[in-house]
Amino acid sequence: MINKSEIINNNPVLKDASELKELLWLNPRLSTYATAEGKTNVDTFAIDDAQNRLSKFAPLIEILFPETKISHGIIESPLKQINNMKKALIQEYHTEISGKLLLKMDSHLAIAGSVKARGGIYEVLKYAEQLALKNNMIREDDDYSIMAQQKYRDFFNQYKIQVGSTGNLGLSIGITSAALGFNVIVHMSSDAKQWKKDLLRSKGAQVVEYDSDFSKAVEEGRKLSDHDPMSYFVDDENSMNLFLGYAVAARRLKKQLDEMNIQIDEKHPMIVYLPCGVGGAPGGITYGLKSVYGDNVHCFFVEPTHSPSMLIGMVTGLHNDICVQDLGIDGKTHADGLAVGRPSKLVGKIMEDLLGGIFTVDDYKLYDNMRLLHDSENISIEPSACAAFEGVVKMEVYQDGKEYIKKHGLESKMKDAVHIAWATGGSLVPEEINRQFLETHLQR
């Protein structure tokens, strides 16, 4: 039984969280990458394996999704320096932002239009490969584009893939699974947007709606899948395959930074701000980035004040054994992709030695920052993705942010720092909904 008063007394930062205050929590367990690497149960070679598998599937992806033809079936998002947004943020919030500001536009990933295209598509492809190999439908040295043939669609049609989602993971799993021929069922929480449900149904997915939150949708989906021997459940709370698919982003980001002649080293630190729901995508990306850049990259999650599940899980060390409702927080937020009441234990445990900290942000800023980005850079992303800018704005002005900078010897290096706001979703949002977002002004 969770004792709210005891937990808040033992963890003063959770008093502010329970009162829905914006904050920055610094992770006291953060250690050097050399130390952290020895503690995790993730093998960095597994990231290379995931990257190689995605490359093997690229010819098939190119056939199934013609929009990837230009990238030869490699699903990757642009990285853009956003100087005008930097100026707009400084002016709007009277803040300091030293160094460069870049936007990692997973909002514009092909197929699913969100960061979930990474892990979600990877997990579906790996499962398809596993089935095809087991049933002697392919050999490992085959050209995987043969799986576009009708006989493979007929074969995959015997199987079901199920997933619980607030929206974006459902789109990723649903669209990819249906394209391969699988029967796919997406269990969606009450926070999921109607347009996402409509899009999934138009692609051939079955959508099951719940009146409750994300955790309930996952629980019910898992239960139904477990009772069906022909069904595979994509578990957003516990999937290592999802985690590894997300981690591949780091290798791709390094290539992009190298091509832009942007150096990341001891004198040029990188600070990355990642919107966080259950934790899989930001956790996988953080692990991948640390495996590439070690102590020269500093990663922070950003959560809505009404749904700071990873914050509560990591501060208490209880991870998925505690939820936001245990502290009297309603879990209701306009950031539908981040509306998660209970965090991933898998990710929380891995992040204990790797994550710099967690910011929380008020919902009204999601729309304010969406407008700033649209007006300054003519880029549209969904409100939940705009959570990342809270970290950019507050890193150098919060007292805890200044302490982090000082503790890690970054004071003299901030002028050469690279800030990356990770845009997690948005390109599939219908134009009419985008206009509604831009016209939404929440009370402060």
DSSP string, 237-264: TT-HHHHHHHHHHHHHHHHHHHHTT---
Residue 307 contacts residue 338 (beta carbons within 8 Å): yes
Tens of pLDDT, residues 47-104: 999 999 999 999 999 999 999 999 999 999 999 999 999 999 999 999 999 999 999 9
Residue 171: the pLDDT is 94
Confidence of residue 189 (pLDDT cuts 50, 70, 90): confident
Q: Which residues contact 306 (CB under 8 A, 6 or more apart)?
A: 20, 324, 329, 330, 331, 332, 333, 363
Please tell me the least confidently modeled range out of 28-32, 83-87, 127-131, 207-211.
Answer: 207-211
- Residue 44 pLDDT greater than 90, yes or no: no
Domains of the chain: 4-43+66-112+241-438 (3.40.50.1100), 116-239 (3.40.50.1100)
- The backbone torsions φ and ψ at residue 27, rounded to the nearest 5 degrees and listed phi first, read -75, 110
Tens of pLDDT, residues 299-342: 999 999 999 999 999 999 999 999 999 999 999 999 988 999 99
Q: Which residues contact 23 (CB under 8 A, 6 or more apart)?
A: 13, 16, 17, 359, 360
Average pLDDT, the chain: 96
- State both tokens at 74: 């490699």
- How far apart, in whole angstroms, are the C-alpha atoms of residue 358 and residue 405? 15
β 270-275/160-165 pair status: unpaired
- Residue 41 pLDDT greater than 90, yes or no: no
- How far apart, in whole angstroms, are the C-alpha atoms of residue 237 and residue 58? 27
> In this prediction, what percent of the chain has a pLDDT beyond 70?
100
DSSP string, 155-182: HHTT-EEEEEESSHHHHHHHHHHHHHT-
- How far apart, in whole angstroms, are the C-alpha atoms of residue 251 and residue 256? 9
Residue 214: the pLDDT is 81
Tens of pLDDT, residues 140-182: 999 999 999 999 999 999 999 999 988 899 999 999 999 999 9
